[in-house]
Chains A and B, each alone.
Chain A
């Protein structure tokens, strides 16, 4: 009996260790290609900018900025005030109060001269919960609209309501606590001027917790004292400047972040808007667009413009972070399940044949592999099939590689490029990079692992808003 168990354990560890070695190799190579590609692309873009090889035109596409707000009384007014500072010719702001339990609606009414509109017809082109009231006012050239609606239980429903009320052909969705950098819309619109096939543009999301802003532009900040926030800064840099730039090169973007995405309104309407059941509405809508255009063989592109920046508040506590990541991973499971017909389907090109399998292997299932990997490693050591020193050396090399990639993407994506890169900043990057490898990533993997067990509960829960703090704004 014991001999049989031992043989089974040895077989498991042998095959699984071989699998995990190949698995990690592919992942490392992919990250390496992404980061080097991203760094190369960033350099090329900087050179093109310096040589005026950019489309800078005074004509901008009219854009409706949708700000879904659920219990956002702490930040929504500041968000709207920052939006009013945007360097952009024609846009409107639509704040959607999704039946907040706090004073979101009241703080908006107090801050702006909003008047109740009694006769505005609403064109219900995508489904959403009933809209109760619409308020509007003009601040200079900008129309501000406040929608008060029945709580739809999710951000997707609120965005759909915004789409129905939006007047302009392009929409931006963002969160109620974010700051769109002053030049962000102008830079995002370059992608639209470059090609008429662009249906979506994703911007670069950065963490605003430690930042100071003046006139919707960052003036100082970066790595601060909060370790949770610092590790998210490194994580976002890796994610946005590494993988997304690479995916952009293949027109295989599968996530235009819910924090900041520009879309052609007609395209969203054609696919029926956002899925109100989805917990990862940003990925769901991007995959749905990929499916729609690839299936109908209509030329399209979805771009990622790293220069167009939106600042968001990352969760500052482990509790909020855990809740956010559980939601994200459940959203991922939901989306992959919904669009399973695209996986390894040549009809969907690089998305079906490469990106979706990659996401399944390296995002969806990675927490399972990580847990199994830990079990296998422990078993291997107990069974004496491998030495602790060899394992430790392999792990250290993996950590070192991750650290180096993190440092590359951080340097390319510095929060205040106008400030000089200091020695202490680099030390901080390396320190938090290490902490990230030893603590943050295993923790997130564990949280994501639990998502498989909490899937049903989370996908049926209503949307929650993490605790927000007011962002520092210099006079």
Chain B
């Protein structure tokens, strides 16, 4: 037996190591229940702090209470209370301790904890902050934008939207562009829509820096304008469409923005795009343009452009033209012409659109 053990000492070593890991995992697992109880105690700890502060009429925390913010469990307990039963009191703590809290969390906590603190800031009621207090938090969350994980960045951005500082948001988008950190476009544009301050002011701040943003962030800003209904800069964007150095994605975003406000000028842009790109390899803009032409009922030019577009080799262009054509409800002979024409794909697209009453845009 001793010999066997000697020859297999490496295997025994590994077995012992893995056995140790297993034991640790079981202990950790069994401790989960205990951990829950500890978390409950921390929540009660914060409750008593809040009661004491409420009685004293001041939410300025003691040094050791501030120190709790750099301990994961205590931070989480505070976050849980700020979302549930103690919204106002937690907001008051955040308000009256802004400098000390940002210094503590910024200095001691790890990135995930900093991200969580940003999350707490994103859900708290921060309407009563002074400019100075707001500046403390803006400085803290802006530092999280560089060199952190995508989760941390998203929480930081959410905190900025909640803080309601338009310039800070516009600067943050610039930071992301400068660092070439591709943050999901939809997350950015939807986030901007949750901005708690003046969204018109945010739109102005974004436009001031628009040329400094990368293509991706510019697209997010344009999408934000589309959803929020800001059309103040449509003329500028229409001019931008003429420029050759913007991406197809951004062209599509601009078209989606301008087609919301029907006008003769917009119609001409949509028709030109459909005619130029309907049968081109980069057909994507034509597909978007086709969806906007359904806003011009009785317009022969629009119908003619859609008749051209429905014969496009690109499926999406064809389907969108068919859908818009049905919505425009032109004279029956227009449909007869396509259905009886030589392009079987166009006829198929129109037949499907007619059966679906035009709701087939892709």
Contact = CB atoms under 8 A, between A and B. Distances in A.
A53 B351 contact: no
B180 interface: no
Interface of A: 25, 28-29, 32, 36, 39, 47-48, 50-55, 57-59, 117-121, 123, 167, 193-196, 389-390, 393-394, 397-398, 400-401, 404-405, 407-408, 411-412, 421
A137 B60 CA distance: 60
A55 B151 contact: yes
B38 interface: no
A58 B14 CA distance: 46
Contact of B115 (A28, A53, A390, A394): A53
25 contacts: A25-B10, A29-B14, A36-B21, A39-B21, A47-B112, A52-B119, A53-B115, A53-B116, A54-B151, A55-B151, A55-B184, A57-B187, A57-B190, A59-B187, A193-B187, A194-B184, A397-B8, A397-B11, A401-B11, A401-B15, A407-B22, A408-B18, A408-B22, A412-B25, A421-B29
Contact of A53 (B11, B21, B151, B349): B151
Contacts of B25: 39, 408, 411-412
Shortest 9 CB-CB contacts between residues of A and residues of B: A53-B151, A51-B116, A121-B348, A52-B119, A393-B4, A119-B351, A397-B11, A404-B18, A119-B352
A167 B12 CA distance: 56
A411 B15 CA distance: 18
Contacts of A58: 190
A393 B186 CA distance: 59
B150 interface: yes
B112 A59 contact: no
Given A39-B21, A401-B11, A412-B25, 4 more contacts: A53-B151, A119-B352, A397-B15, A407-B22
Nearest to A54: B151
Interface of B: 1, 3-4, 7-8, 10-12, 14-15, 18-19, 21-22, 25-26, 29-30, 72, 76, 79, 112-113, 115-116, 119, 149-152, 154-155, 182, 184, 186-187, 190, 315, 345, 348-349, 351-352, 354-355, 362
Nearest to B353: A119
Nearest to B319: A121
Nearest to B79: A52
A28 B348 contact: no
A36 B76 CA distance: 27
A400 B116 CA distance: 41
Contact of A119 (B12, B79, B355): B355
A177 B55 CA distance: 60
A397 B79 CA distance: 47
Q: Which label, helix, strand, loop or mixed, suits the secondary structure of the B interface?
A: helix
Contacts of A167: 362
Contacts of B190: 57-59
A405 B355 contact: no
B154 to A, nearest CB: 6
A442 to B, nearest CB: 20
Contacts of A407: 22
B7 A390 contact: yes
A117 B348 CA distance: 13
A120 B22 contact: no
B22 A404 contact: yes
A404 B15 contact: yes
Given A36-B21, A53-B115, A57-B190, A390 B4 contact: yes
Contact of B76 (A25, A48, A51, A123): A51
A167 B316 CA distance: 11
A28 B12 CA distance: 12
A61 to B, nearest CB: 9
B155 A401 contact: no
A53 B155 contact: yes
B12 to A, nearest CB: 7
A51 B115 contact: yes
A187 B72 CA distance: 24
B116 A52 contact: yes
B214 to A, nearest CB: 13
A55 B152 contact: no
A36 B20 CA distance: 12
Contacts of A53: 112, 115-116, 119, 149, 151-152, 155
Given A51-B76, A58-B190, A408 B21 contact: yes
A79 B296 CA distance: 44
A401 B14 CA distance: 8
B216 to A, nearest CB: 9
A195 B184 CA distance: 7
Contact of B112 (A51, A55, A390, A408): A51
B351 A196 contact: no
A193 B7 contact: no
Contacts of B155: 52-53
A393 B14 contact: no
A400 B76 contact: no
Nearest to A59: B186
A120 B355 CA distance: 9
Contacts of A390: 3-4, 7
B43 to A, nearest CB: 14
Contacts of A123: 315
A177 to B, nearest CB: 31
A195 to B, nearest CB: 7
Contact of B8 (A39, A118, A393): A393
A408 B28 CA distance: 12
Contacts of B76: 50-51
B8 A51 contact: no
A247 to B, nearest CB: 20
Contact of A51 (B14, B18, B113, B184): B113
Nearest to A120: B352
Given A51-B113, A397-B12, A32 B4 contact: no
Contacts of A39: 21, 25
Contacts of A28: 11, 14
A48 B351 CA distance: 51
Contacts of A404: 15, 18-19, 21-22
A141 B95 CA distance: 44
Contacts of B182: 195-196
B352 A121 contact: yes
A411 B187 contact: no
A32 B352 CA distance: 57
A25 B315 CA distance: 55
**Which of A121, A390, A405 is the most central at the interface, judged by chain B CB atoms within 10 Å of its CB?**
A121
A52 B22 contact: no
Contacts of B15: 397, 400-401, 404
A242 to B, nearest CB: 12
A28 B315 CA distance: 52
- Most chain-B Cβ atoms within 10 A of its Cβ — which of A51, A55, A397, A412? A51
Contacts of B351: 119
B332 to A, nearest CB: 18
A119 B79 CA distance: 55
B29 A55 contact: no
A200 B170 CA distance: 33
